[in-house]
A and B are shown apart, each in its own frame.
Chain A
């Protein structure tokens, strides 16, 4: 129980996936312009990350390791993520059109979100058990969502600010992300696994 709680705290705050570990920067910069899209993307990522970690962990432990195929790890994992995204998209469209409308457009973008692949790979590298892996993936996804939503809030206000011409666009976004990252450094060293 203690380990699980530590994993949750560490991967939401201390080792925040976006701001401290640099995973998933592309969607972080790409969809954080509006709060609405940021929330949609966050939900989609939480969903897919948890599912992907479950499937890849089982596949790695019960198929790749017994058959000595661990060198296929990258190919297998990325295929699992890509097909999972496709599957989730199809299923959602069938059973819950409202949810699909909310998450639909973000799902294809997730295949190239490196945070998802990172979570599945790190769960194996850190030698987490199945339960720990699931908790780890949920915490990492919440950390991603937290960073994305805070950033969207800041950027909505930034729209109205007067910014020097050379800094406009991505430059000021990155500097803002840097300041946000400094804020998250306050958690550094609070807890380690």
Chain B
């Protein structure tokens, strides 16, 4: 391992090889809860990424000052602060998205993906590497959200970029009958299960 590539490794690790969703099954609640439409899934992914980057940065910055006995509560306060900021920003600039995501916005605090990365990586590694790791895990999570949302929106509603009827692109003609299964909660479980199976298959095939 050349020392030069450490940063690149940090940046790419979370995307596929250690994808927080497909490999470690972290952050399931928002993943299933908000992926009815691509727009919601992407918004949630971005919000989580911002919290993730901010949290990694601050924790790495303070890593030598945080007493190890109380590190978890301190991590949670740092995350909760960023989540509050994001909640206010969404409320101000994206009210429609904020309404749609509902209680899942404050629930970013409980996303075990963020706490897991802070505990495993940022609390031990220097600032730049931790921040890159935060970017990587956040984008990996967004990829999973977007994939699942894409499947659910295309099959469940027959559109892309809904639910706003003006921006939505109708994929199929007027004779299309949506598969409601994918739009309802039960479909989220089934779609994710099938998606995991496909990812398993691809990873095995290409030896990732």
Contact = CB atoms under 8 A, between A and B. Distances in A.
A49 to B, nearest CB: 13
Contacts of A73: 106
Contact of B76 (A24, A25, A79): A79
Given A121-B103, A175-B193, A78 B80 contact: yes
Given A23-B33, A74-B80, A185-B185, 20 more contacts: A20-B185, A21-B33, A21-B185, A24-B29, A74-B106, A78-B110, A112-B112, A117-B110, A125-B103, A166-B198, A166-B201, A170-B25, A171-B200, A174-B189, A174-B190, A174-B196, A178-B188, A178-B189, A178-B193, A179-B186
Given A117-B107, A121-B103, A111 B76 contact: yes
B57 to A, nearest CB: 19
B10 to A, nearest CB: 24
B196 to A, nearest CB: 4
Interface string A128-166: 000000000000000000000000000000000000001
Contacts of A111: 72, 76
B80 A171 contact: no
Contacts of A78: 76-77, 80, 109-110
A29 B25 contact: yes
Contacts, number: 117
A32 B200 CA distance: 22
A75 B29 contact: no
Interface of A: 19-26, 29, 71-75, 78-79, 82-83, 111-114, 117-118, 121-122, 125, 166-167, 169-175, 177-179, 181-182, 185
B168 interface: no
Interface in B159-193: 184-190, 192-193
A74 B109 contact: yes
Interface of B is mostly: helix
B12 interface: no
B73 A74 contact: no
B196 A181 contact: no
Interface string B17-48: 00000000110110011000000000000000
B83 interface: yes
B139 interface: no
A121 to B, nearest CB: 5
B28 A26 contact: yes
Contacts of A25: 28-29, 32
Interface string B115-137: 10000000000000000000000
